[in-house]
Amino acid sequence: MPNPKRKHSKSRTGNRRAHDFLTAPSVSLCPQCSTPRMSHRVCAKCGFYRGRTAVPVKEKE
């Protein structure tokens, strides 16, 4: 296996690692109940998606 002839500098290492960070998931508000939810997902609280009930949600007593 070939080995590097010289050590990579800190700036070169940083440039390589610039895209290795994690991004937070994008969150939008549900238009029905205004709770935060991920985009293009059914709301866990009210069960609405795109203006209609996609999943029936059981009410807590």
Alpha-carbon distances, residue 21 vs 10, 12, 14 (angstroms): 17, 16, 11
pLDDT at 35: 93
> Has residue 8 been placed in a domain?
no
> Has residue 40 been placed in a domain?
yes
Domain range for residue 44? 26-53
> Has residue 47 been placed in a domain?
yes
Look at the chain and report how many structural domains it folds into. 1
58 residue type, one letter: K
- 61 pLDDT more than 80: no
Q: What is the pTM of this model?
A: 0.55
Q: Where does the pLDDT of residue 60 fall: very low under 50, low under 70, confident under 90, or very high at 90 and above? A: low
- Residues of the chain above pLDDT 90, percent: 49
- 7 pLDDT more than 90: yes
What mean pLDDT comes out for the span 31-51? 90
List all residues 6 or more positions away from 37 whose beta carbon is below 8 Å from its beta carbon: 27, 28, 29, 30, 43, 44
What mean pLDDT comes out for the span 8-33? 92
CB 5 within 8 Å of CB 18: no
Question: Does residue 36 sit in helix, strand or coil?
Answer: strand
